[in-house]
């Protein structure tokens, strides 16, 4: 189970999506998910409307490159029209261990046309992921009810050659332990799964240390 620290490795909410939080995730051995926008012709890290003080994405890409591209960057696309800037930046830093997600359908097409790795979303509201054949993977996101995520679903995506990244319940305000218990059971023996979590240390202990994954 590969762990992605949601908006970096942080202790307080104001630390989310800071360069320090993203750097700390890498230092602790985690990939991360973060939000990408554009500001005055530059790519920046920001969940909300971009500001002048947001970290520049180039600094984040340089950080990832300094770790020899070992850690995955899940890039949450928050604005339209960034695909060419992003493709150029990733090429400049020789980064391949990433995926983009959460674009609108027209933007998803543009990202795929630009040769960027995309994940399509599947949730209780999006039972049929769009542009599935062209996607590199699937972002499994249960907003309210995760009972539909089962082994058959995951195995089907893996058999189709897709990576699978699962959103941990605490990102939606739910207690993660019951789902983690079930996920551990249904994912036994399956390779290459990712989980995006606000609690990377606890998830590491649960999935990778005590469980021997």
pLDDT of 11-36, one tens digit each?
999 999 999 999 999 999 999 999 99
Closest CA to 129 of 170, 163, 96: 163
Q: What is the pLDDT of residue 211?
A: 53
What are the two backbone dihedrals, phi and then psi, of residue 196, each rounded to the nearest 5 degrees? -100, 120
* Phi-psi label, residue 153: left if phi above 0, alpha if psi -120 to 50, beta otherwise: alpha
Compute the mean pLDDT over every residue in the chain, rounded to the nearest whole number.
Answer: 96
pLDDT of 89-110, one tens digit each?
999 999 999 999 999 999 999 9
Strands (E), the chain: 2-6, 31-39, 42-45, 73-77, 98-101, 119-122, 137-140, 163-167, 193-197
pTM (two decimals): 0.95
Closest CA to 59 of 76, 47, 40, 42: 42
Do residues 84 and 38 lie in contact, with contact meaning Cβ atoms separated by under 8 Å?
A: no
């Amino acid at each position: 189970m590969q762990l992605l620290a949601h908006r970096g490795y942080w202790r307080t909410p104001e630390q989310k999506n800071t360069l320090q939080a993203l750097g700390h995730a890498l230092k602790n051995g985690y990939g991360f998910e973060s939000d990408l926008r554009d500001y005055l012709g530059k790519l920046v890290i920001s969940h909300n409307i971009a500001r002048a003080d947001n970290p520049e994405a180039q600094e984040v890409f340089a950080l990832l490159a300094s770790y020899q591209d070992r850690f995955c960057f899940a890039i949450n696309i928050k604005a339209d029209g960034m695909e060419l800037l992003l493709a150029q930046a990733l090429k400049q830093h020789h980064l391949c261990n990433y995926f983009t997600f959460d674009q609108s359908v027209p933007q998803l097409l543009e990202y795929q046309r630009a040769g960027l790795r995309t994940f399509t979303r599947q949730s209780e509201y999006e039972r049929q992921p769009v542009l599935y054949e062209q996607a590199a993977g699937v972002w499994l996101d249960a907003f309210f009810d995760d009972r539909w995520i089962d082994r058959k679903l995951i195995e089907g995506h893996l058999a189709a050659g897709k990576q699978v990244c699962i959103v941990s319940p605490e990102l939606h305000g739910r207690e993660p332990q019951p789902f983690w218990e079930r996920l551990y059971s249904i994912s036994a023996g399956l390779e290459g799964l990712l989980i995006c979590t606000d609690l990377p240390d606890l998830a590491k202990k649960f999935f990778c240390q005590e469980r021997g994954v």
